[in-house]
Every structure is written in C-alpha cells, then in structure tokens.
Chain A
C-alpha cells in the first residue's frame, strides 16, 4: 500500500498519461524521435539546475539566484568571447565564477546566519545586475558552429540532445551523492532537524556551503548550455527560470521544509513538466493555459504528499 502511494509512482503514472494522451491528441507526432529531442532540448537547462537545487532544498534551504547566475555566466561568455578569449578557457572560467557566486550565497547563509530565502532574493538581483554590467544590452552570437551544435544538434545517429547526456551524468552524480553517501545522509539529517544534526556531529555549515557552491557551478554550466543552444549570449538569458526549477523540484516530491525527497522524483517531475509543456504547445493549447496547468500541478504536488501521508497512516 505504502509503495503504491509513493509520489514517484504518481509521477510515473502522470508521465505515462502525458505520453499517451499527448501522443493521441497530436496525431502521433509527439512520441517520435524528433518529439523526444525537442522535449529533451527544452527541459535540459532547467533539469540541470534542478539536480543540485534538490540537495539544497532537502537541506531545508533555497537558492533563488540560479537563473541570475545563468544570466551572468551567459553574459561573461559573450564579453570574454568579444575580448578574444578562446572558448576552451572561457567555459571553465565561467564555471569557476558560478562557483564563486554560490560561495558568496553560502558564506552569507552559513557564516552570517542569514536566511537563504532573503540572501538569494538579494543575490538574484545582484548577479543579474552584474550580468548587465558585464555585457550591457548586447547579444553576442558569432560562436563557432562546432560549439553551438552541442546545443542544437542531437548526438549523431540518435535523437539524444547533447545537453541530456550532460544531464544524465549530473543525475547519476547527484543521485549517488544524495542517496548513497554519508554526505547525502547528512543532508537529509540537516533538513529534518538541523539542531539534532549539529549535535550528532554533522558539520552543518560546511555541508550547506558546499551545496551552495555546487548549485552556483551547475547554474553556470547551465548558462553555457543555454548560450550554446540559442547561439546567443545575453545578460537577460534565463530570466524567471528559477521558478521553473523550483517547480520541478517541488513537483518531484521534495519537501520545501527539507528532509524529504529523491533525485529520481525530480527527474520524473522534470520529464512530466517538459513533456506536458511540449505536448500542450504541439496540440495548439494557448501559452496561458500551459502556465495554468503547471500551476495546478505544483499545487497538487504540495497537497499530495500530505494526503498520501494521511492515507498511509490509516493503513495498519
């Protein structure tokens, strides 16, 4: 009984529904290689950031600055490319800058003891502002095709977008980190009860700091993917994306209060959201309705765990 009511199972059913109904409603053009490629390309950036952010939210913190770090990373790519840097140097540099952005968040949260919600609302504005300082309102687009094809073409012979390969690697890494290491157990412990975790010898501050650094680095990586996919480095890239990512994490069954959640659930949620959006657009449903459906799903995901908990408690 308990197994059947797991949120992941619900998501799995939802995903199957999206696939079947989406395919039926769109005359079969949804469940094709191209369809999968489009869904994959559309959700990759959001799904990448969702991986480390899952750990942050399990630890009962939040990082709302991720989309701004993405924008800063994109702006830096453009500015450095204009300045004549080779991409081989720009890309690692940008990830380091992302990690530094994360470290600043982490420092403010752990050393100064500020709430991460307030800190990252501030850094959301700060990093986006920096992005505009770095690149202004230009759009840089003259990247070599050998690079942009990673964002726009599938792996030769398949319909797998390159960013999805990257995502698969991150999913395994963060899945193992959260579910198969002492670090992961500590993250859960912190989210469940920070005081208790501290008393049992877990280095709470250090772990949180690491989580913010990882999130910043992955957000910058997502900025690279975004920039290459659209062949357009801009300071306003990814505006508002943080809400999509948080939606995916929460829909994935991660508790906003911390202590509960799985990487698998978040992956499923990202697939549901990405698949649903594409199926609805393919079926010519208006954009506004797509947003509405996403909102309903998010509300449902907040309600459902509470309901399932009550139901499972009822069974002996």
Chain B
C-alpha cells in the first residue's frame, strides 16, 4: 500500500510539473526579439548577462580565453560568468546551455564539443532571445549567430605542415596526434593538412597515422608512445591541440626519441617554453586565446545591442583589437596564428 502511495505521489508530482504549462514560462522568455536588420549606430547595451561556456572547465587554454572575455566584459560594463562541464563529452554541454536559457542570460559564448549535439538546445535558447557566439570550435551554423574562428583553417593547417616539413628537412614519415575524433576544428585542419601534403613540395613526406588523445593528458601521452612504437621510422609529429602537444613533448623529452623525432603543433608558450628552449620542440604555433575570448565577447555584445545580426559584411568594433567584418556563414577570423620559437617564446605569457 505504502508503495502505491509513493508511486502515486510521484506520478502526481510529474503530472504537476507537466501541468505547469506555458503560462508559467512567460517569465523566462525575457530577452529581445530576433532582429532582422542591424543598426550599427545602436548604443552598446550595459549590464548584459553573458555566460562563458568552454569545452570543459579547468582547461588552461580556456582559462586564458576566459580572461580575455572578462577583460572585454569589464571594459563594456557587462556581467560575465563562466560555467561548464568537467569532461569534454558530446552531451555534457547541453545541460549548461539549457540552464543559461532558463536563467535568462542575454548571450552565450560557447566552444562546442560536438557541433550537432548542442544544436537543438542552442536553437531553443535563441528562440527566446539569447544571442549565441561560438568560438574555437563551431556549432551547426543554423544554431548560432556568429562563429569566432581563431585563424583561417587554411592558414593554421598549412602552417603546421610547413613547420613539420622544415623540422624534418622535407622528407620522412609523420603522424598527427589530434584531440577528440569529432572536434570540428581538428577535423577541418586535418582535411586541409592532407590536401597540403598532396602538394609536390611535400611529396617526400608520408602521413602514417592520425591518433586521437581525446584532449586528455594521459591518453595523449600514451598515444604518443604508441605512435613511436608502431612506426619506427617516424620523423615528426603534428599535434594541433594544446593538450596533445604538451603531452607529446613530455613523452619525447623523457624518451630516447628526444632530438630524433620532431614535434610541432598548437601550443601555448607557457606550456611549451621548457621544451622549446631545450630543443625537444622546434616551434609551435597558436593564436592568443585571450584575444579569442575578447573578440567573442565584443561580438556577443554587438549582437545583443542590435549593432549586428550576424550577416555577412556587417562590421563591429572590438576595442583594442580593432574593427572586424563578418564573413561567409557568420564567421569572423581573429587573425593569422603566431609561431613561437626559441627566439620569441619568452615575449609571451599565456
């Protein structure tokens, strides 16, 4: 009997939730209407509530990006808060997107773990007026307003191939150590790298394998070890992810391959400084993630203020970064990546 009571009351509770229909939701539909025309002269809205949602929390790269976002938010007089999952699972960001919508946030800055898994939640949030700016890793194009791309994919990927080619003297076997297999940006770069490698100037370079370290330090470390075991003639590794390249550098540094196998990738100066200075790694490239977060915030505020709508050709100002123009498919490119070598690595601190 008592069990029945429990069951029944649970059922009632569920029904109660269901019965709380749309009347109750009026309050959280807040936000502005989706504007169709941009007004570049509109005043910049103050006190906007902005959520910063990285791929995962406690990831040094995103912590730096968050710093940039906070800087821009402070400069503009907005409220920015960071939140996010502790793992980079496809689904783990959805709860946080729904929550931001429920809290009536005006804008969301998102680095998507899976471009499609987040799309339905983003669409629902945008319907109630939240502006969505993706940065670092894009969501499905119809689920966000603007995508802030760190550098053009072509520049990044071609640059990585050039760096490894220089490091191995233009011939030999190489491998790629990527992040997660579904990371939109990684896969775009890898595709372009393959096309680059097909060019005559790289004819003597052979791509042996693409390994995935899941943006996890330990996994990336083990995958590096695996790559070197599986391919005894390996001469170079490209790891276009800050987690991967740091783990690979640590492995090389502690192994007999040090100095024999070249490594390049996308790495932060602070993480890679030691390895660049002791010669384990010749060079790495990266944009400034702080600027990435900063630009994303300026774009979000311009969207929420009605200065831009995300259409190609619209322009917005981004403080010290200057003026940016929205490109094809709502994409904004931060700028060409920087290359860090022994000569300049000490000039940067992030």
Contact = CB atoms under 8 A, between A and B. Distances in A.
Interface of A: 3, 6, 8, 12, 15, 26, 28-42, 136-139, 141, 148, 151-152, 155, 157-160, 164, 168, 171, 175, 179, 226, 229-232, 234, 236-237, 239-240, 262-265, 267-268, 271, 277-278, 281-282, 284, 286-288, 291
A184 to B, nearest CB: 11
A306 B3 CA distance: 20
Nearest to A45: B91
A137 B178 CA distance: 12
Contact of A232 (B13, B96, B116): B116
Contacts of B28: 29, 32, 34
Contact of A281 (B18, B83, B90, B116): B83
A41 B6 CA distance: 22
Interface residues of B, number: 49
Contacts of B225: none
B81 interface: yes
B10 A36 contact: no
A26 B27 CA distance: 13
Contacts of A31: 20
Contacts of A28: 27
B155 interface: no
A144 B7 CA distance: 35
A32 B24 contact: yes
A152 B85 contact: no
A152 to B, nearest CB: 4
A137 B181 contact: yes
A152 B120 contact: yes
The 7 A-B residue pairs with the shortest CB-CB distance, nearest first, are A137-B181, A36-B17, A264-B6, A141-B116, A152-B120, A230-B117, A160-B18
Contacts of A30: 102
B9 A287 contact: no
B6 A265 contact: yes
B169 interface: no
Contact of B9 (A12, A164, A179): A12
Interface centre among A42, A138, A232 (most CB of B within 10 A): A232
Contact of B81 (A34, A234, A284): A284
A161 B118 CA distance: 17
A35 B24 CA distance: 10
A288 B114 CA distance: 22
B119 interface: yes
Contact of B119 (A38, A41, A231): A231
A174 to B, nearest CB: 11
A79 to B, nearest CB: 15
A87 B80 CA distance: 43
A230 B19 contact: no
A229 B87 CA distance: 19
A281 B53 CA distance: 12
Nearest to A270: B10
B103 interface: yes
A158 B99 contact: no
Nearest to B19: A158
A236 B101 CA distance: 27
Nearest to A149: B120
A40 B14 CA distance: 9
